[in-house]
Amino acid sequence: MRKIIVGAFVSLDGIMQAPGGPHEDPVGGFQYGGWAFPYFDEAMGQAVDEMFATPFDLLLGRKTYDIFAAHWPYAGADDPIGSLFDRITKYVATRNPALKLDWQKSQTLGGDVVAALRKLKSEEGPDLLTQGSTDFLQTLFRNDLVDEMYISYFPVILGKGKKLFGDGATPMALKLVSSKVSGTGVTVNKYLRGGPVVTGSFEFEQPTEAELERRRKLS
């Protein structure tokens, strides 16, 4: 069985859009492309290395694939990430399954993306790691396909932009298995699935008359 693992750089208000540079994804008038760059230090480099340490294939939305394909094949043989991405398989979610992909070892997931992902998960092979791909992530969350998440929270508020979690994500609890803080204040967290959402209550066992009246006003 293969796992689907989400890797994401996220602002404190949940935005993922264009962390790497001003021309990466200016859609919607986004003005802060490259917001992650000032926070990268040695600890962040180690966190990225840890995320890439276990064998994986890439799982990308079409827009992120285009960004990567225009950058990483040209990074040079001495670039460890570029050479890694070059030699592994890239699976791409696209609304045009007949799309020709020029980057070596790249293939589309076909017309039924969810069925293709379930088939991939059932097979033997390296885990499937996402990078970026905000729109595609919503499909993964809606269909309960995510097994683990590496989420790095950056100490910045961006106001608007594409978010990690939209409406319709499958409710679940998560288990935090590791957490580190970089010298620039980025919190690097690894989460596993933690089962269903469990609720409880801090309310009085016997509600007050004021509370009962408040509830009546809500209905």
The dihedral built from the CA positions of residue 159, 165, 171 and 172, taken in this order, carries a sign that is negative
Q: Indicate if the pLDDT at residue 218 is higher than 90.
A: yes
Q: Please report the pLDDT score of residue 96 as a whole number.
A: 86
Q: Indicate if the pLDDT at residue 124 is higher than 80.
A: yes
Place of tokens 């885990």: 127
Q: Please report the pLDDT score of residue 219 as a whole number.
A: 81
Pick the more confident residue, 146 or 97: 146
**Which of these CATH numbers, 1.10.3720.10, 3.40.430.10, 3.30.1340.30, 3.40.50.20, describes 4-218?**
3.40.430.10
Question: How many CB atoms lie under 10 A from the CB of residue 65?
Answer: 26
Contact yes or no for 42/164 (Cβ under 8 A): no
Q: Indicate if the pLDDT at residue 95 is higher than 90.
A: no
CA distance 71 to 144: 31
Mean pLDDT of the 39-68 span:
96
**Antiparallel, parallel or unpaired: β 56-61 and 148-154:** unpaired
Half-sphere exposure of 209 (CA within 13 A, CB side): 0
Q: What is the CA radius of gyration of the chain?
A: 20
Q: Please report the pLDDT score of residue 163 as a whole number.
A: 97
Q: Please report the pLDDT score of residue 99 as a whole number.
A: 84
Q: Indicate if the pLDDT at residue 180 is higher than 90.
A: yes
Average pLDDT, the chain: 96
Query: Which amino acid appears at position 124 of this protein?
Result: E
Q: Shortest CA distance to 113 belongs to which of 72, 158, 61?
A: 61
The two three-digit tokens of residue 209, written as one number:
């008359």
% of the chain with per-residue pLDDT over 70: 100
The two three-digit tokens of residue 70, written as one number:
């225009």
Mean pLDDT of the 181-196 span:
97
Model confidence pLDDT, tens digit, residues 134-170 = 999 999 999 999 999 999 999 999 999 999 999 999 9
Q: Indicate if the pLDDT at residue 77 is higher than 90.
A: no
Q: Please report the pLDDT score of residue 97 as a whole number.
A: 76
Q: How far is CA 9 from CA 39, 100, 112, 185, in A?
A: 11, 29, 28, 13
Could you tell me which residues come within 8 angstroms of residue 24 by beta carbon, excluding any fewer than 6 positions away? Answer: 18, 33, 34, 67
Mean pLDDT of the 15-22 span:
97
**Antiparallel, parallel or unpaired: β 106-108 and 90-93:** parallel
Mean pLDDT of the 32-56 span:
96
Q: Shortest CA distance to 27 belongs to which of 61, 74, 71, 58?
A: 61
Q: Shortest CA distance to 194 belongs to which of 127, 146, 136?
A: 146
CA distance 125 to 147: 15
Contact yes or no for 174/194 (Cβ under 8 A): yes
